[in-house]
Structure 1
Amino acid sequence: MEVIILFSVFLILLLVGMPIAFALGIASMSYLLMEGISLTIVPQRMYAGIDTFVLLCIPGFVLAGNLMNVGNITEHIVRFSNALLGHIRGGLGLANVGGSMIFGGISGTAVADSASIGSVMIPGMARSGYDKPFAAAVTAASSTVGPIIPPSVPMIIAGSLSGISVGRMFLAGAVPGLLMGLAMMITVYILAVRRGYPKEKRVPVLQLLREAKTAFWALLMTVIILYGIIGGFFTPTEASIVASLYALVVGMYVYKGLTWRKLPGILVDTVLTSSALLLMVGLANLFGWILTSEQIPQMIATLILSISENPLIVLLILNLILLFVGAFMETIAALIILFPALVGVATGVGVDPVHFAVIAVLNLMIGLTTPPVGVCLFVVAGIGKLPMLTVARAIVPFLLCNLAVLMLVTYVPAISLWLPNLLMGSN
């Protein structure tokens, strides 16, 4: 009975618009009071949830993303993508996807990608003759590539929950992320041809080389992060600090969009964003502890395996669960609550845990663009001053292409595991 009330309170609070961290906390405390459990467990479980070294990546990569935005690094990424792809039909849409792939490979967060790329591309595409809902949909859909291509904040969370190597997960996300970006580019091109969207004039070779030279320092950041982790020069946590220092130097002394006067505001914004994420992690850990004490994960595993023990069927069921949850719950909270239980089910039928981690993150990223709680939809709708339902309709072709990639990644493990096995050896 108490568990039913726990979920009921949680869902009601979500439906009335309560921030998910508070919904998790209030629902958990309701359960504790009904069970007569001392509330001292609240700070204990919250602290246990965030007392993980790898979670220090979060403020590091958030800071790197903020420094990129203010330091004009994002703008140079977009300009280079446009110079490279703008001459193709629907080229600005292709540049939007390309810019998101590059930016996401540095910041590791989809929402930051939606806000930064969207603030540049949505007005720009509208001025160039694209439908504004299409521009918003491309921005929201392509932003989900960010947490698949390394680094990835959700993968950091998954690693802290399960002990899976974050470095292996980063590498495992690279090929699926590129595949996802390519699929969206094909979708953009097909829609652009059908709808007669414009194309830019081909950029002269010398101008393309100038844009490439200007964007070089931005592109180099991704190489430094990946090479540093793969080569064993620094951990993912240290990589986030290196990325922040690099973004500071490049933004201040190369692109010169960053000044000392802007740093306090950037730091405050980073603290607010990081603390909100870590508060959610702490409260979700409390919620997850309650579920574990009530043996909910074991019940979920038993229920799934009672349907089938065939790995192909089990993976399909896990995908459906994650897609459904991703449509209603924020990514980090969903991972903390569900991932430990579901990864146990997956590994129990012979699925590689790294492979399943990529599947889980990909599912929840698709959820960011799925009503009713698709955070990226709300971000781009706000930037474009559009009704959320209008953007949701426009994003349907991209959802379908991302679901196709999800099925491919799910049932062809080599797409995820080839690169980490090549560079780090098989487990």
Structure 2
Amino acid sequence: MISLLLFGCFALLLIIRVPVAISLGLSSALALIYSGKVSSTYIAQGLVTSIDSFPLMAVPFFILAGDLMGQGGLSRRLLNVANVFFGRYTGGLAIIAVVTCMFFAAISGSGPATVAAIGGLLLPAMTKAGYDKGYSVGLIASAGSIGIIIPPSIPMIIYAVSANVSITQMFLAGIIPGLLIGVGLIITAYMKARKEGYKGSEKRYSATEIWQTIWDAKWALLVPVIILGGIYGGVFTPTEAAAVGVIYGFVVGVFVHKELKWSDLYRLIAGSALTSATVIVIVGTATIFGRMLAIERIPFMIADYIVQLTDSPILILLLINVLLLFVGMFMETLAAIIILVPILLPVVTAVGIDPVHFGIVIIVNLAIGMVTPPVGVNLFVGSRVGETSLEKSIVGAIPFIIAMLLVLLLITYVPWLSLFPLSLVG
């Protein structure tokens, strides 16, 4: 009865469009009061203890770092570099969109932030070049989801905390899957461009112009080297790396490129604080929800049921992929991770699946969820930036969603793709 109340109340609140964080908190509170197993003060204590975590401090820092670097001109310079190398090919602007999103993913750690930053720069140019708006938005929304796969990644931090695994290992494991999804999107964009007749730029760059463009973007190109190199080299922790990213973005934007004005800082900090607060509230209420599941032993019952149904790792991963893709259509990424990890992790570890590899499977599934309606946060951001309807954006994203699903199957059943980088660093 308590389980029915917990899930029923949560589903009802979502249907009437109550924010996810509030839905999680209210349904947990009602189930807690009805059960009477613990004091109502457990909710307040849980909200505090769930966010009292040093690794979670990286989340607001990475959000602010991404905002500072986007406003400071780094994303535009990455776009210029991509244009020099890929602009002349068929569907050049589409390929540029994917490549730039992959680079910016190593800066922001957020899917919607990547879509907003790159879409704001590239969508007008794609429209002017004759690209269909729905196709353009669908592409950038899909490419923006790489923002949570290529490190640094905010959802990876949340998973690492929930599953008690190393954040550094998760970051390493996300490199090859993120690159594979990028390659899959580039191939799909190229094939679609050939079919639709989207030509590349006729301009050819001299060696001097190429070097000048790269040199102008050197500070942007150094960001992944500094942040990821510092983490993997043991110079600083992921949380400290996020703080370094904030300082780096501020210094480069204000004093080097001089495109980040002092008057912009309040707006950027306020916006980042609002986003961070939303994330932290979701983490807190989702943790309470997860603890209620644990009190009712729901994760253990589901784990036992799945293991009794089949003990084949192949079938278990297939069932979990279907579940995650469905959940990603309706639930916010961070909330889904915190709720589902305690339920699913015992199942996969029982059949010998590595928790780091499983974390990548979860992240990729939920990345696809960012471009699948009805939640599809990347599609909402992209359609707003591109000034087109959500329906056209969904249709435009379909070929890219299919490509991402094919790569997901490869990542799921070839653990080496995720775990190989870990073996290089011991």
Tell me if TM exceeds 0.5: yes
> What amino acid is aligned across from residue 96 of structure 1 in structure 2?
A
Find out whether 1:347 has 2:349 as its counterpart.
yes
Aligned to 1:373: 375
> What amino acid is aligned across from residue 7 of structure 1 in structure 2?
F
Aligned residues: 424
Aligned to 2:401: 399
Aligned to 1:284: 286
> What amino acid is aligned across from residue 373 of structure 1 in structure 2?
V
> What amino acid is aligned across from residue 349 of structure 2 in structure 1?
T
1:210 corresponds to which of 202, 212, 216: 212
Aligned to 1:152: 153
What's the offset of the Cα at 1:278? Answer: 0.3
> What amino acid is aligned across from residue 298 of structure 2 in structure 1?
I
Range that drifts further, 3-12 or 138-147 = 3-12
Counterpart CA distance in 2 for 1:328 and 1:46 is 23
Aligned to 1:422: 424
1:172-215 Cα deviation digits (max 9, x unpaired): 00011011101100000000000001211233332222111111
Counterpart CA distance in 1 for 2:255 and 2:216 is 13
What's the offset of the Cα at 1:122? Answer: 1.3
User: In the alignment, is the contact (CA less than 8 A) between 2:181 and 2:404 conserved in 1?
Assistant: yes
> What amino acid is aligned across from residue 11 of structure 1 in structure 2?
A
Aligned to 2:26: 26
User: In the alignment, is the contact (CA less than 8 A) between 1:71 and 1:258 conserved in 2?
Assistant: yes
Counterpart CA distance in 1 for 2:397 and 2:282 is 28
Range that drifts further, 25-34 or 98-107 = 25-34
Counterpart CA distance in 1 for 2:110 and 2:155 is 8
Counterpart CA distance in 2 for 1:338 and 1:386 is 34
Range that drifts further, 150-159 or 250-259 = 250-259
> What amino acid is aligned across from residue 401 of structure 2 in structure 1?
L
User: In the alignment, is the contact (CA less than 8 A) between 2:324 and 2:362 conserved in 1?
Assistant: yes
What's the offset of the Cα at 1:146? Answer: 1.3
1:353-373 Cα deviation digits (max 9, x unpaired): 111111110111100111111
SS of match in other structure, 2:217: helix
**Identical aligned pairs, as a percentage?**
42
User: In the alignment, is the contact (CA less than 8 A) between 2:47 and 2:285 conserved in 1?
Assistant: yes
What's the offset of the Cα at 1:256? Answer: 1.1
Counterpart CA distance in 2 for 1:87 and 1:284 is 47
Counterpart CA distance in 2 for 1:235 and 1:178 is 23
Aligned to 2:9: 9
Counterpart CA distance in 1 for 2:2 and 2:383 is 38
Counterpart CA distance in 2 for 1:339 and 1:10 is 18
User: In the alignment, is the contact (CA less than 8 A) between 1:173 and 1:416 conserved in 2?
Assistant: yes
* Aligned residues: CA RMSD: 1.1
1:264-288 Cα deviation digits (max 9, x unpaired): 2211111111111001000000111
1:375-417 Cα deviation digits (max 9, x unpaired): 1111111112222122111111101110111100111111001
1:306-345 Cα deviation digits (max 9, x unpaired): 2211111111111111111111100000000001221221
Q: How does 1:253-264 map to 2 (within 5 A)?
A: 253-264=255-266
Counterpart CA distance in 1 for 2:103 and 2:211 is 18
SS of match in other structure, 1:181: helix
Gaps of 5+ in 2: none
> What amino acid is aligned across from residue 218 of structure 1 in structure 2?
A
SS of match in other structure, 2:48: helix
1:56-100 Cα deviation digits (max 9, x unpaired): 010110010010121111111112112221100111010100110
Range that drifts further, 222-231 or 381-390 = 381-390
What's the offset of the Cα at 1:261? Answer: 2.3
Counterpart CA distance in 1 for 2:50 and 2:400 is 35
1:132-160 Cα deviation digits (max 9, x unpaired): 11110111000111111110101100111
Find out whether 1:199 has 2:200 as its counterpart.
yes
1:226-271 Cα deviation digits (max 9, x unpaired): 1111111000000000111111111112211112222122111111
> What amino acid is aligned across from residue 306 of structure 1 in structure 2?
Q
Find out whether 1:188 has 2:213 as its counterpart.
no
Counterpart CA distance in 2 for 1:169 and 1:223 is 17
Aligned to 1:168: 169
Aligned to 2:267: 265
Aligned to 1:360: 362
User: In the alignment, is the contact (CA less than 8 A) between 2:10 and 2:23 conserved in 1?
Assistant: yes
TM-score, normalised by the number of residues in structure 2: 0.97
Find out whether 1:410 has 2:412 as its counterpart.
yes
Q: How does 1:228-307 map to 2 (within 5 A)?
A: 228-307=230-309
Range that drifts further, 74-83 or 350-359 = 74-83
SS of match in other structure, 2:208: helix
User: In the alignment, is the contact (CA less than 8 A) between 1:45 and 1:282 conserved in 2?
Assistant: yes
Q: How does 1:93-108 map to 2 (within 5 A)?
A: 93-108=94-109
Aligned to 1:49: 50
User: In the alignment, is the contact (CA less than 8 A) between 1:130 and 1:198 conserved in 2?
Assistant: no
Range that drifts further, 187-196 or 14-23 = 14-23
Aligned to 2:121: 120
Gaps of 5+ in 1: none
1:107-132 Cα deviation digits (max 9, x unpaired): 11101111111111112110111001
